Amino acid sequence: MFSKILIANRGEIAVRVIKTCRRMGIKTVVVYSEADADSLAVEMADEAVFIGPAPAAQSYLVADKIIAACKQTGAQAVHPGFGFLSEKAEFAQRCADEGVVFIGPNPKAIEAMGDKIESKKFASAAKVNTVPGHIGEIDDTAHAVRIAEEIGYPVMIKASAGGGGKGIRVAHDRKDVEEGFPAVRAEAKGAFGDDRIFIEKFITSPRHIEIQVLGDKHGNVVHLFERECSIQRRNQKVIEEAPSPLLDEATRAAMGAQAVALAQAVGYDSAGTVEFVAGQDKSFYFLEMNTRLQVEHPVTELITGLDLVEQMIRVAYGEKLAFGQGDLKIKGWAVESRIYAEDPYRKFLPSIGRLVRYEPPVEGDTAEGCKVRNDAGVREGDEISMFYDPMISKLCTWAPTRAQAVAGMARALEDFHIEGLGQNVPFLAAVMDQERFKSGELATSYIADEFPEGFTGVEPTPFQTDVMTAVAAHMHRTLAARAREAGNGLAAPLSRTEWAVFVGKTRRAVALSEEGGALKVRILDEDRALTLETVDWRPGKALYRGRLNGEPFTATVQPAGEGFVIRHRAARRAVLVLTPLSADLHQRLPEKQAPDTSKMVISPMPGLVVSMDVAVGQTVREGEVVCIIEAMKMQNIIRAEREGVVKTVGAKSGDPVAADEVLVEFV
């Protein structure tokens, strides 16, 4: 076996590969850019080699630097992870020429399948059903418009070298193509160094289902069943699961056989994924093949018991697969939630900053019979940079059934606490609690269907309202007792038993008493009682773990100017505990008015200004492009929401801007 492997990647996947190498007794080397000098991967690896500035084009995408690092450290093989150089046939060939083993498929297989245009030509020749589209390069925007109108709207504009949801737009009309084609080309050039684009028919209400394949260098290929990846936003996967709730055994076998046949036809010899777009009627079409390890590989590992990174390493070393198709069985169900540094309350825009608090759920078996796994490349205190993907971690749960795995994920998300930047945990929790998701009726349009106006949180359920009421009452009581002990004369008397609790605008009269080590909270308006047992909380802690009437929960609690802000899953409310007299006065206060920003264009996210398209004195019409902001490989077009004359311009091309910074002000 190899004695030393270099990992040509960063973040979560670099840490993931290091863990398997450690278990196999293999030394590891990581390369790192300026932005990753203090990363977890650098800390964990046996050796680390600096390869340049933060932009990937000057570090992780420079093959010469990777090869030089191999020679410098004596690494015998390179694991490329996903993204960056993982699907570059020329890099795999360069490794072979330099006597370094590429832990991935052979260059010919990457060339045949890794390029989205070439893979469609190959699949068509192999009589694999493909989505209708234009197979070939597109010259310019006018050419793109002609092709789109020949195919018929809606169409998907896609980067040939794309991956990870980058370089993809759906166009519903000519205007969408005229704007989307140059934007996709720019994203493709910046992210992949390749601006070739293709266009295909966009199938409405489709599902995204992929088959994991694994081949060795002796002609053996198996599939490891499917993953359902239909919950997507901006064509990037957000939630994945294995197996798919859509497929029956016959469809699963047919898709698996087609994926294996395709892999065998190109002599595929590593882990790879054949992606299909599936109709709700279980029809399916070949979409593309990813010639690398997928981000969502953990769910396949959880239902098969295999370590895909280990299998890639063994295959690269020349070993035969130790199992055949008949040896593989699906055990249980697994769900993965991608934890992203993005603000769901601000249209999921990237959120850059420091992980002031990072407390993931405990990994391992839970009391409810679920298994929790969290693949991460960060620690508390780390910085989420604008230069790379906004992923913080991948939270996975496994259980014997889908319902148990989904319930386990919802509980695990409750236990995930992050401070310092926007993150999508509340949104993921909202999806887990939706009846449609629980039913398995999925589509790639799921998020657009279920959250057409964006995400603003959800209304608390009766249980969540009770949680917020009881928790706030207990915290108020505890803090009042501390203030009394400290001799604060303003502390409320502990002898008071009746309080008014506001959950948002809803007022409830409650009475508190201690009973057998638990707090009894009587809801006087409704003539019923709650029993709150505190499992883990003390003043200053952001997570409150407890049991309400015997049901376990975890809530996020924060002190506010008045009272607390409490979140349970996707429900978040300001909660205030007052005396009845103070509550009467509180209800007479006028509501605070939001500031008028109607004459301003405000940056929705931190990033770099790619272009500023207006100038002082210019008349701008509603809907016109004001500027383009880029962060985390994504370009965001900012448009004017009203007509007006530009009074001031607050940034120019190349400037860094913060979220909520005023970019343009109108007269």
SS3 of the chain: helix, strand, coil, percent, to 5: 30, 30, 40
Tokens of 529: 């009682």
Question: Which residue from 616, 613, 615, 641 is spatially nearest to 627, judged by alpha carbons?
Answer: 613
Handedness of CA 158, 160, 166, 167 (dihedral sign): negative
* Residue partners of 559: CB distance under 8 A and separation at least 6: none
C-beta separation of 31 from 7 below 8 A: yes
Tokens of 497: 């038993």
User: In one letter, which amino acid is 240?
Assistant: E
DSSP 8-class letter at 602: E
Question: Active-site residues: which are they?
Answer: 288
DSSP 8-class letter at 325: G
- d(Cα 51, Cα 37) in Å, to the nearest integer? 10
Buried b (16+ CB within 10 A) or exposed e, 605-637: bbbbbbebbbeeeeebeeeeebbbbbbbbbbbe
DSSP 8-class letter at 34: G
- DSSP letters spanning 532-575: EEEEE--TT-SEEEEEETTEEEEEEEEE-SSSEEEEETTEEEEE
- d(Cα 82, Cα 388) in Å, to the nearest integer? 13
3-state secondary structure of 196: coil
